Structure 1
Amino acid sequence: MRILGIDPGSRLCGFGVIDIVGQNRNYVASGCIKAGGGTLPERVRILLDGIREVSEAYRPDIAAVEIVFVNVNPASTLMLGQARGAIIAGLVMAGLPISEYTALQVKQAVVGNGHADKEQVSAMVQRMLRLSGAPQSDAADALAVALTHAQHGTGVAGKLQKMGLNIKRGRLA
């Protein structure tokens, strides 16, 4: 199974792709979609195009997206929510089933501590995927989301795979 992990952002959206083969978790790719500092509609377009490009390039079977909470600034929270909505729409348009995880769930799954800091998450991602160096921060967070789904497999696709069925591009294969 190929999992696309997403760390949503309105200016920078991290993505990470891993393959699950038996008990092995293998790194495929990671990076960031840079939406820049334009208007929100411009950034939404860049995010949609970027999600489409990543989906076409890596052909994941399922996407896992971090549920984000920002409580300090209501305007930032609203913009982030709109960007996250655009990212999810892009994944749906790509025909991908989507599972969602909170930051607490991701940190608990990857580090074993729901209050771990970014450096701890990055170090564990590097270790779990046997990477030679630390990935960029947003990419590391996205890989952590993908690893969380690999561990939990709570989505429909994960349950079907556990039953011995094969999933390809969100459909039974």
Structure 2
Amino acid sequence: MKILGIDPGYAILGYGVVEKIGNKFKVCDYGAITTDAGTPMTERLEYLYDSLREIIEEHHPDVASIEELFFNTNAKTAILVGQARGVAILACVKGGLEIEEYTPLQIKQALVGYGRADKKQVQIMVKTILNLKEIPKPDDTADALAAAICHGHSADTRKMLREIKLK
């Protein structure tokens, strides 16, 4: 199973493509799509969409794992990030991908075993699980890879629960 992990943002959108083979993960690609602060929001969103579509066309993932938003302070930032998240979801849907969404707590739990783990612990686990020489930078990239790994660990259980609900 090939998984596209996405950490949504309008200035920096982290992405990571990993393949799960048995119990092992293999990193295929990762990075960040960045937009300039002075660029109109419509152009930034279009660039995010087009860039994600290129990544999807290049790697042909089976599923997208997207981090859910968690904001408790700045409503304007939350709305702008929500727009970028919507564009990311649309790019994935138009690319034929199934979408799975995970909260930051679920991602931390899947990688570290503790939902209140700090960012550094998650980054170390991403590096370890993917056998990377360094922690991926920027942080958004490591977060996207973490979302992909989270789905890799959770996919079978989620599928089984959906089948139970359908009965």
Q: Same fold (TM over 0.5)?
A: yes
Cα contact 1:66–1:103 (8 A) shared by 2:
yes
Higher helix share: 2
Is there any run of 5+ residues in structure 2 with no aligned partner, and where?
161-167
Aligned to 1:33: 33
- Per-residue CA deviation, residues 114-161 of structure 1 (Å, 9 max, x unaligned), is 1112111110100011111111111110000000000000687x55xx
Q: TM-score when scaled to structure 1?
A: 0.87
**Superposed structure 1 runs of 4+ greater than 6 Å apart:** none
- C-alpha separation in 1, matches of 2:36 and 2:88: 15
Alignment pair present for 1:60 and 2:61: yes
- C-alpha separation in 2, matches of 1:92 and 1:23: 27
Q: TM-score when scaled to structure 2?
A: 0.90
- C-alpha separation in 2, matches of 1:115 and 1:100: 18
Cα contact 1:62–1:96 (8 A) shared by 2:
yes
Aligned to 1:47: 48
Match of 1:35, as an amino acid?
A: T
Aligned to 1:122: 123
Superposition RMSD in Å: 1.4
Cα contact 1:104–1:115 (8 A) shared by 2:
yes
Alignment pair present for 1:131 and 2:132: yes
- How many pairs align? 158
Percent identical among aligned pairs is 42
| 1:36 Cα deviation from its structure 2 partner | 2.1
Is there any run of 5+ residues in structure 1 with no aligned partner, and where?
160-173
